[in-house]
Structure 1
Amino acid sequence: MIQYAEGTWGPNAYRMLFGGGLFNSYDQHPGIAVTRACITSTAAGAYQFLGSTWSSLQKDLKLPDFSPVSQDKATVELIRRKGALPDILSGRIADAIYKCRKVWASFPGAGYGQGERPVTDLLRFYVQAGGQLLTT
């Protein structure tokens, strides 16, 4: 769902640069600044990690590279740091989205001016991808 929100969903998700270009090596975060629609960003990978965010996570988690496995582990850590992991595990996905809204610019309420996706779209994609929502 994060990949869908960030516009990276697809076969090249883990190699995606901000703006849609691709990088070739998983050895390290590419650190390429891309300008698109007056926004410059070093975001890269399936979850669009900024270079500075990745450097911190890589050090903290002792990640060896920018591979898909490392990107997934770092994403889980970001979700955990926002206190949203229990929400995801319990199917409270809208609550998790709210808690993580300042991590991903495309989440509703992020406030970065980069095109936020409505929570209804994110939840619909989550369910279509096989996720289950908590029903009361």
Structure 2
Amino acid sequence: MARISEQEAGGRNVVAFLDMLGVSEGTNDGRQETKDDGYDVLVGGKLFTGYADHPNVLVKLSPSLSSTAAGRYQILYRYWPHYRALLKLPDFGPLSQDRYAIQQFKEQRAIADIQAGRFDEAVAKVRNIWASLPGAGYGQHEQKIERLRDAYLRAGGTLVEA
């Protein structure tokens, strides 16, 4: 479960969307080992300890693909210093990771869609950030929108009627 309060996040739907991302990214889907709701997961499935800063571990996933993705939302190290300074984040802890992801929602102009329950529209707006989202186009495994919608609803999110 996301650590940010509904009030600070901007509502229950935003928290549910964060929880859905944990499922989508595979960091908090019930199959991945984690000691902290996915906030402690490195890309590839190993865990890291300590939240003082982004772990910045380069993981070789295949002969042609390496990544520094870490945490519940699989944040790449190359972006972390900018957002840590911008958002004045004290560490790489769960609350900082939540705030980082919400900033991504805002920058992609998806926050209003998330808050209003326009789930599919919001996913389409942020899929360029998270390779696991349907239609991301990074050549990695993409989740099915139905599975993610279900995870969002189970997390307490609501959908607007079309």
TM-score category by the smaller chain? over 0.9
Q: Structure 1, residues 54-93: CA drift from partner, whole Å, max 9, x if none?
A: 1211111111100101000111000100000000000001
TM-score, reference length from structure 2: 0.80
Matched, 1:27 2:52: yes
Q: Deviations over 1:2-21 (max 9, x none)?
A: 01000001553000000110
Q: How many aligned residue pairs are there? A: 136
Matched residue type, 1:7: G
| Aligned residue type for 2:53 | Q
Deviation at 1:36, TM superposition (A): 1.8
Shift of 1:113: 1.1
String of CA shifts for 1:89-121, please: whole Å, max 9, x gaps. 000011010000100010111111110111111
Please tell me whether residue 52 in structure 1 is matched to residue 52 in structure 2.
no
Find the counterpart in structure 1 of residue 5 from structure 2. Answer: none
Q: In structure 2, how many angstroms separate the alpha carbons of the residues matched to 1:3 and 1:115?
A: 15
Provide the residue aligned with 1:3 in structure 2.
Answer: 22
| Matches for 1:1-136 after TM superposition, within 5 Å | 1-9=20-28, 11-12=35-36, 13-38=38-63, 39-136=65-162
Identity %: 43
Distance 1:54 1:107 in 2: 21
Shift of 1:37: 3.5
The list of structure 1 runs, each at least 4 consecutive aligned residues, that deviate by more than 3 angstroms after superposition, is none
1:27 is paired with a residue whose SS is: coil
Mind listing any 5+ residue stretches in structure 1 that lack a counterpart? Answer: none
- Cα distance in 2 for residues equivalent to 1:78 and 1:51: 15
* CA shift for structure 1 position 124: 1.2
Q: Considering Cα pairs closer than 8 Å and 6+ residues apart, tell me whether 1 or 2 has the greater RCO.
A: 2
Structure 2 unaligned runs (5+)? 1-19
Specify the SS of the correspondent of 2:39. helix
Q: Helix, strand or coil: the match of 1:54?
A: helix
| Structure 1 Cα separation of the partners of residues 116 and 60 of structure 2 | 38
Letter in 2 for 1:77: Q
Task: Return the TM-score normalized by structure 1.
Answer: 0.95
- Looking at structure 2, the residues matched to 51 and 78 of structure 1 have their Cα atoms a distance apart, in angstroms, of 15
